[in-house]
């Protein structure tokens, strides 16, 4: 291979590397994991920020168990990447409910170990405002609250209470 062809290949590769670096600099990473929390049940809660040009940075979570996703990716709230999240976890006395929350009350994730259900990600056949759904999650929240008094007040309040 001649020196001019080698030189051309090196220049092309350098240009491609530069364009890739500029693209990352302009757009930034689209999805960044900001937390990974292993719960006593063996489940792992992953928090990540997804960049969105229209509304800013969005905070999502997903839950995996034994490497498989058991709770699909779910939106929690908007988040400023410069702000530090202080995350707390707790488990109910009977170990059936685990929770993850931050100093900010809008970030509250509950996971029911026996059923694999999660709040705020509901089953496909559930509606968040349905009284039976609110009652189910409120009772699970209360079981967790009995073990951790620092748990924030939920958005899970049945109308009858």
Within-domain flag for 11: no
What span, in angstroms and rounded, lies between the C-alpha atoms of 119 and 102? 15
Within-domain flag for 59: yes
Would you state the pLDDT for residue 134?
86
Tell me the two tokens of residue 18: 């530069």
Q: Comparing C-alpha atoms, which of 40, 46, 128, 55 is closest to residue 92?
A: 40
Confidence of residue 160 (pLDDT cuts 50, 70, 90): very low
Would you state the pLDDT for residue 109?
82
What span, in angstroms and rounded, lies between the C-alpha atoms of 135 and 82? 36
Within-domain flag for 161: no
Work out the average pLDDT over 131-146: 87
Domain extent, residue 61, equals 31-145
**H or E element at residue 97:** strand 97-102
- The total of structural domains in the chain comes to 1
Q: Comparing C-alpha atoms, which of 42, 50, 40 is closest to residue 67?
A: 42
What span, in angstroms and rounded, lies between the C-alpha atoms of 57 and 133? 29
Within-domain flag for 4: no
Within-domain flag for 93: yes
Tell me the two tokens of residue 52: 């969105």
Within-domain flag for 40: yes
Tell me: pLDDT of 85 over 80: no
Instruction: Choose between 59 and 80: higher pLDDT.
Output: 59
Q: Which residues pair with 112 in a beta bridge?
A: 97, 117
* Contact between residue 31 and residue 49 where contact means Cβ atoms under 8 Å apart: yes
Local structure of 127: helix, strand or coil: coil
Within-domain flag for 51: yes
- pLDDT, tens only, 96-124: 888 878 776 556 788 888 888 888 878 77
- pLDDT, tens only, 2-47: 667 767 676 766 655 554 544 444 444 577 887 888 877 788 888 8
What span, in angstroms and rounded, lies between the C-alpha atoms of 81 and 33? 11
Instruction: Choose between 148 and 29: higher pLDDT.
Output: 148
CA 114, 118, 123, 126 torsion-angle sign: positive
Within-domain flag for 116: yes
């Amino acid at each position: 291979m001649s020196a001019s062809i080698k030189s051309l290949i090196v220049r092309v590769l350098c240009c491609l590397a530069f364009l890739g670096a500029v693209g990352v600099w302009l757009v930034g990473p689209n999805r960044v994991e900001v937390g990974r929390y292993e719960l006593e049940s063996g489940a792992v809660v992953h928090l990540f920020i997804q960049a969105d040009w229209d509304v800013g940075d969005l905070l999502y979570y997903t839950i995996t168990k034994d490497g498989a996703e058991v709770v699909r990716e779910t939106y929690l709230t908007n988040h400023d990447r410069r702000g530090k999240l202080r995350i707390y976890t707790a488990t109910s006395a009977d170990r059936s409910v685990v929770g993850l929350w931050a100093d900010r009350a809008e970030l509250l994730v509950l996971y029911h170990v026996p059923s694999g259900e999660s709040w705020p990600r509901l089953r496909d056949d559930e509606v968040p405002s349905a009284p039976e759904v609110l009652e189910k999650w409120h009772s699970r929240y209360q079981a967790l609250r009995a073990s951790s008094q620092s748990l924030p007040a939920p958005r899970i309040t049945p109308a009858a209470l």
